């Protein structure tokens, strides 16, 4: 990998790490499910008008959009609204990496190497350490946001399966068209859970201080977090094997936790720090391990797993 592309990878890390601050700003004003729907609706309109639809089977586009877009962001935003610390959210969401590998084994017939098994086991152990620490210091109410974030990571992993099976000619077009799927189901969930007036009240009061800050957060999530960050990530994946690119994603929690500490005065507990270090070590070991060959009867032959950021 060239020095220029390494710097691009670090740029993605910075954009995605600060993305959690932008989400926090948006949730200070908008209801979580409505904010998730709005986040994708803003992207969906120009995508439909100006971006060619990728020539991929509809079922895989739907799986990508429902898993990556609807489930991930619905549960992530709910978790942060329910008290999940911003920095810790950026870490626990990395559960999507081991979830992706496990789903590839279950549904795509891939095999894990011994090093991958050990790495995933270590990552899961780190998640358990974080969950136990949260439960010990804050009872069950503190554990619920962690569980919601884990569901978000599982949704991301299912989205990766859809993206993998779609095999698009233009990965960026697939990423952009994924944004067309979540707005309607997310808005329907918002109506059912938050009520019809919640989103209306947030929109009508958007001229307030918190509303303007939330709009700035929305703009960051859409323009920098999604368009710029995902675009650069797709570019890197098109030039290098996923095993070379994916480890950059393990730096995202470091940026997220540091930014939350600097700007939001969030201080992780010693247990969360230890658990986080274990998760990152386990994910790194799993992502950089060589996979064993898949059985000859599996068709199509397995390709490189594209692990999430």
Please give the pLDDT value at position 245: 73
Higher pLDDT, residue 287 or 107:
107
Of the pLDDT bands very low, low, confident and very high (cuts 50, 70, 90), residue 305 is: very low
**DSSP string over 286-305:** HHSSPPPPPPTT-SSPP---
Of the pLDDT bands very low, low, confident and very high (cuts 50, 70, 90), residue 129 is: confident
In angstroms, rounded to a whole number, what is the distance separating the alpha carbons of residues 185 and 135?
A: 32
Residue 140 has pLDDT above 60, yes or no: no
In angstroms, rounded to a whole number, what is the distance separating the alpha carbons of residues 305 and 164?
A: 7
Indicate whether 302 belongs to any domain. Answer: no
**CA-closest candidate to residue 300, choices 157, 110, 111:** 110
Residue 34 has pLDDT above 80, yes or no: yes
70-110 confidence digits (pLDDT tens): 999 999 999 999 989 898 898 889 888 788 888 888 888 87
Question: What percent of the chain shows pLDDT beyond 70?
Answer: 89
Indicate whether 143 belongs to any domain. Answer: yes
In angstroms, rounded to a whole number, what is the distance separating the alpha carbons of residues 245 and 220?
A: 23
Indicate whether 300 belongs to any domain. Answer: no
Highest mean pLDDT among 122-126, 132-136, 220-224: 220-224
Indicate whether 309 belongs to any domain. Answer: no
173-182 confidence digits (pLDDT tens): 888 999 999 9
Residue 15 has pLDDT above 80, yes or no: yes
Contact predicate 259/32, CB 8 Å: no
237-281 confidence digits (pLDDT tens): 777 766 677 777 778 888 888 899 899 988 888 887 888 888 888
From residue 14, give the alpha-carbon distance in Å to each of 208, 217, 248, 252.
Answer: 29, 15, 10, 7
Average the pLDDT over each of 19-23, 47-51, 95-99 and give the range with the smallest value. 95-99
Indicate whether 169 belongs to any domain. Answer: yes
Indicate whether 293 belongs to any domain. Answer: no
Please give the pLDDT value at position 229: 86
Please give the pLDDT value at position 43: 93
Q: Is the dihedral of CA 114, 120, 125, 126 positive or negative?
A: positive
Residue 40 has pLDDT above 60, yes or no: yes
In angstroms, rounded to a whole number, what is the distance separating the alpha carbons of residues 262 and 174?
A: 35
Q: What is the mean pLDDT of the chain?
A: 84
88-97 confidence digits (pLDDT tens): 898 889 888 7
Residue 308 has pLDDT above 70, yes or no: no
Highest mean pLDDT among 64-68, 224-228, 252-256, 296-300: 64-68
- Look up the domain containing 93 and give its range: 3-287
State the total domains in the chain.
1
What is the model's pTM? 0.84
Please give the pLDDT value at position 108: 80
Indicate whether 109 belongs to any domain. Answer: yes
Indicate whether 225 belongs to any domain. Answer: yes
Higher pLDDT, residue 297 or 55:
55
Which residue intervals of the chain are DSSP H helices? Answer: 3-27, 32-50, 58-64, 72-81, 86-92, 96-108, 114-166, 171-178, 183-193, 196-204, 209-219, 229-239, 242-245, 252-264, 270-287
């Amino acid at each position: 990998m060239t020095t220029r592309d390494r710097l691009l990878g670090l740029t993605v890390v910075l954009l995605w790490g600060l993305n959690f601050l932008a989400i926090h700003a948006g949730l200070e004003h908008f209801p979580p499910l409505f904010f998730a729907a709005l986040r994708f609706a803003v992207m969906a309109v120009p995508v439909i008008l100006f971006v060619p639809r990728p020539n991929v089977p509809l079922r895989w586009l739907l799986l990508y959009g429902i898993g990556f877009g609807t489930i991930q962001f619905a549960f992530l935003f709910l978790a942060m609204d329910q008290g999940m610390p911003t920095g810790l959210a950026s870490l626990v969401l990395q559960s999507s990496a081991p979830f992706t590998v496990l789903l590839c084994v279950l549904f795509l017939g891939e095999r894990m190497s011994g090093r991958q098994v050990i790495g995933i086991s270590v990552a899961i152990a780190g998640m358990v350490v974080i969950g136990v620490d949260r439960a010990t210091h804050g009872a069950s109410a503190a554990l619920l946001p962690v569980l919601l974030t884990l569901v978000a990571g599982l949704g991301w992993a299912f989205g990766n399966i859809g993206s993998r099976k779609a095999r698009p000619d233009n990965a960026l077009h697939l990423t952009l068209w994924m944004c067309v799927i979540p707005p309607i189901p997310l808005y329907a969930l918002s109506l059912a859970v938050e009520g019809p007036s919640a989103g209306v009240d947030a929109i009508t009061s958007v001229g307030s201080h918190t509303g303007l800050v939330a709009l700035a957060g929305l703009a960051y999530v859409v323009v920098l977090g999604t368009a710029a960050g995902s675009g650069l990530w797709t570019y890197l994946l098109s030039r290098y094997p996923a095993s070379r690119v994916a480890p950059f994603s393990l730096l995202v929690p470091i940026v997220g936790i540091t930014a939350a500490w600097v700007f939001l005065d969030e201080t992780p507990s010693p247990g969360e720090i230890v658990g986080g270090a274990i998760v990152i070590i386990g994910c790194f070991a799993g992502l950089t391990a060589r996979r064993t060959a898949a059985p000859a009867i599996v068709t199509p032959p397995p390709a490189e797993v594209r692990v999430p950021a």
